[in-house]
Amino acid sequence: MHSFHSRMKHTLTLLTALLLTPLLGAANAPHSTVDTNDKHDRTGDRNRIQAGDYVAVIGDSITEQKLYSLFIEEYLLMCKPVPDLKVTQFGCGGDTASSAAARLAHDVLPFAPTVATTCLGMNDGGYGPIDEGRVKRFRDGQTSILKQLKGAGVRMIVVGSPGCVDTDYFGVGNGHPEQGTGADYNHVLATLRGVARDLAQEEGAAFAEVHDPMMDIMTRGKARYGNQYMLGPVDGVHPSPSGHLVMAYSFLKALGCEGDIGTITVDRASGSALASEGHKILSFNAGVVEIESRRYPFCVSGDPSKSESARSMLEFLPFNAELNRLMLVVKGESGNLKVTWGNVSKVFSAVQLATGINLANEFPDNPFCEPFQKVGRAILEKQTMETSLIKKQVHNLPADRQSAEYQLGIEVFVKQEKEANAKVAAAVEPVRHTLKIESADSLPNDHPASEIATAETSSGWKKFEGNPVMGGKYGTCFDISVLKEGDTYRMWLSWRPKKSIALVESKDGIHWSEPPQAVFGPRPESGWEDDINRPYVLKRADGYHMWYTGQAKGRSWIGYATSSDGVTWKRMSDKPVLSADQPWEKNIAVMCPSVLWDETAKEFRMWYSGGEQNEPNAIGYATSPDGLTWKKHEGNPIFSTEPKNPWEKHKVTACQVEKIGNWYVMFYIGFQDEPTARICLARSKDGITNWQRHPANPIIFPGKDKWDHDACYKPYAIFDGAKWLLWYNGRHGSLEQIGVVEHRGEDLGF
């Protein structure tokens, strides 16, 4: 309890502040800069941000870092603003669920928030082994917080889980053996996450899953970049901006944010340009569109090469795809077009632009960056003030909330908060910006791949932003075959360090079992199987059938094996079942089999690649009654390069063929030159002749400066009834890893 003199001194400080500036009372929240066309109904969806909401961001020292809270407030004020929105950061270092519950009525509820987020648990685990007493105190504290918030009329509550600690820089790894390992404490935090999730469900609150995505990204980041990769500073506990972006992503999703920042639609032929809510077309002339926007895209800053920067997290986190979509759609065009936004120009195909490109993703440095940072600085200044006022003044007010001193202190905070909010609101100004769209000259065949099209997919395909999904610490993993059996995906992959075929499994096609299990290895004594790779696995009633590539002495052959379980394999012949013996195969290599069983003809049908060893040249076709004895098609190769298409003028190879309705659809690699590869689509009625290329080819491109920067190889696709999943191996330098793309619906857009 405070002494009489200290309380009097505190009261005089508050009174002085009041006398210096006229008291404005318990003020309403200031207006954010908003789109006047937006309509918000407080009687509508209770689980979304509404006009007039006051959001309280509650937590421990991680909240007090003012990073994820900054990102949340930036997003709510600029990206999808609503009238009269107010956000206050109530982070307090050292807080547990119990201590936060104890200060809630005194420090938070008097300000009457309508929305509250909580993120607690890091301190509750005690930085040691699991302790049931601590778990119970965490549960009791969280329960008290929820009941207090509900009792105070808080309309929407988001319970956040604790995050994670760094497995290399926490505890033992940071000179504190008494804390155990990072893996040990993450088990404790996962337990507390489960408690928070269950309580949220019991109390009808929303839940923000923070722990799992942070764990997943940390694991994949270390697999890709080594153990030095970290989401926070060397204490292993407090996240850096990259980790806080993950936290903000989880909370914004839980707050009902959907990510539609806006759409600009341009038709040069008709001379029309349209903008969705939050944006206004000022002029359109000769392909130049001038726009005024009241909704900003979220501008993620930082050096993408440094793991601590927020922008580096976009390699793993689907933030732009799910929360930050400012779309440009250009209709009625053909060929390639150059889009200039601000000081950056990029070239896209007309098909990509007709589908729509996400300007926020394609142009991270854009005309909004400077005004976005200006608002961010004002918000950070406000949140810094909030921390000081809450911890040093409000928290030290008398326990009696009816006392004159307490009421006076709250009024002072409200006044200063109102002034800070007004400063923030004044910083959020409409942004005028210009998009220039012009036809790109025909690009020469030797034009760099990154200039032909900088969007990474076309025709509705979308890369998983957490790619790659397999590789990293396991070395090069490439050319795969996938089956979906019940609710489990099984992937047989080529594992270069082991010169073997390995098996991994997944429930979602994204997160795979580790480490890979080598199931089929080399047999040097055969003379043709020094290295085993490029499998194709077909499952029938009589078991699993696998055709694979054996390599030795600079040549390649195709072999055949069977299995009852997909794990233990038996070679069906000591010799290859297919060899390079035709001129177009150059007597060097046949590889990359893709096989279907034709029940009507009672035969296996194989599409394979032939030619040079490093990258074969074209695709051939063969049939077999038993998988062992094959007859090559007399018209081979049945699929060759198309010189007029620069992306496949050099070679076409490594296909997968699927029967879809009355069509045979081929996913294949198109080579512009030996090192430059993209993924394409074609179809044929009989799988042999009259192949039709997809009008949007290529459908998958390398990502500049990303894990697949240099090439996209060997597609394998499955339709699961609602969407296509297509896995491929991307190359950056000498390392190949496996990523995945998605396409909603069965129609591939031919």
HEC per residue, 34-51: CCCCCCCCCCCCCCCCCC
Whether residue 457 is predicted with pLDDT greater than 50 in this model: the reply is: yes
605 closest CA partner among 631, 577, 572 = 631
Q: Convert the pLDDT of each residue in 218-227 to its tens digit.
A: 887 887 777 8
Mean pLDDT of 443-449: 38
Question: Is the predicted pLDDT of residue 5 greater than 80, yes or no?
Answer: no
> In which band, very low, low, confident or very high, does the pLDDT at 212 lie, cut at 50, 70 and 90?
very high
Give me the pLDDT at residue 305, please.
80
Least confident span in 73-87, 181-195, 225-239: 225-239
Q: Considering only CA atoms, which of 176, 139, 181, 143 is closest in space to residue 164?
A: 181
Q: What is the 3-state secondary structure (H, E, C) of 140-204?
A: HHHHHHHHHHHHCCCCEEEEECCCCCCCCCCHHHHCCHHHCCHHHHHHHHHHHHHHHHHHHHHHC
- Which two structure tokens, joined as six digits, stand for 584? 């177009």
pLDDT at 597 over 70: yes
pLDDT of residue 61: 95
Dist CA 189 CA 130 (whole Å): 9
DSSP assignment string, 507-534: SSSSSB-SS-EEEE--BGGGSSBSEEEE
Give the pLDDT mean for 206-221: 91
pLDDT tens per residue across span 646-655:
899 999 999 9
Say what percent of the chain tops pLDDT 70: 91
Read off the pLDDT of residues 364-392 as tens digits, 9 standing for 90 and up: 999 999 999 999 999 999 999 999 999 99
CA nearest neighbour of 588 among 563, 617, 562, 631: 617
Q: Is the pLDDT of residue 176 over 80?
A: no
Q: Which pair of structure tokens corresponds to residue 178?
A: 């008494």
Domain 451-744 matching CATH 1.10.10.10: the answer reads no
Identity of the residue numbered 386: E
Reply yes or no on whether the pLDDT at 446 is more than 50: no
Does residue 233 have a pLDDT over 90?
no
The predicted structure's pLDDT at residue 530: 96
pLDDT higher at 645 or 537: 537
What type of residue is 220? R
Q: How far apart are CA 596 and CA 657, in angstroms?
A: 8
Superfamily of domain 48-257+368-402: SGNH hydrolase (3.40.50.1110)
User: What's phi and psi for 273, nearest 5 deg?
Assistant: -140, 130
Is residue 693 within 8 Å of 459, Cβ to Cβ? no
- In this prediction, residue 163 carries a pLDDT of 94
- Helix and strand numbers (H, E) in the chain are 14, 34
H/E run at residue 252: helix 241-254
Q: Give pLDDT, residue 21.
A: 35
Cα within 13 Å of Cα(672), Cβ side: 25
Average pLDDT over residues 291-297: 97
In the predicted structure, residue 20 carries a pLDDT above the cut 90: no
Instruction: Write down the pLDDT at residue 34.
Output: 30
Q: Is the pLDDT of residue 14 over 60?
A: no
Sequence ranges of the domains in the chain? 48-257+368-402, 260-364+432-450, 451-744
Return the pLDDT at 221.
83
CA distance 276 to 60: 39
pLDDT for position 174: 63
In this prediction, what percent of the chain has a pLDDT beyond 90?
74
Per residue in 41-88, pLDDT tens?
Answer: 333 467 789 999 999 999 999 999 999 999 999 999 999 889 999 999
Beta bridge partners of 620: 608
State yes or no: pLDDT of 178 exceeds 80.
no
What is the per-residue pLDDT across 409-440, written as a single tens digit (0 to 9) for each? 999 999 999 999 999 999 999 999 999 999 87
Of 274, 281, 334, 323, nearest to 300 by C-alpha is 323
701-717 confidence digits (pLDDT tens): 999 889 999 999 999 99
**Alpha carbon distance 91, 75 (integer Å):** 19
Q: What is the mean pLDDT of residues 184-206?
A: 95
Determine the pLDDT at residue 173.
60
Tell me the pLDDT tens digit for each residue of 468-519: 999 988 999 999 999 999 999 999 999 999 999 999 999 999 999 999 999 9
Instruction: Compute the C-alpha angle 510/515/521, nearest 5°.
Output: 110
The three-class DSSP label of residue 497 is helix
Same fold, 48-257+368-402 and 451-744: no
What is the per-residue pLDDT for 259?
A: 93
More confident residue, 290 or 28: 290
* 330 sits in which H/E element: strand 325-331
Convert the pLDDT of each residue in 556-591 to its tens digit: 999 999 999 999 999 999 999 999 999 999 999 999
pLDDT tens digits for range 627-638: 999 999 999 999
pLDDT of residue 680 exceeding 80, the answer is yes
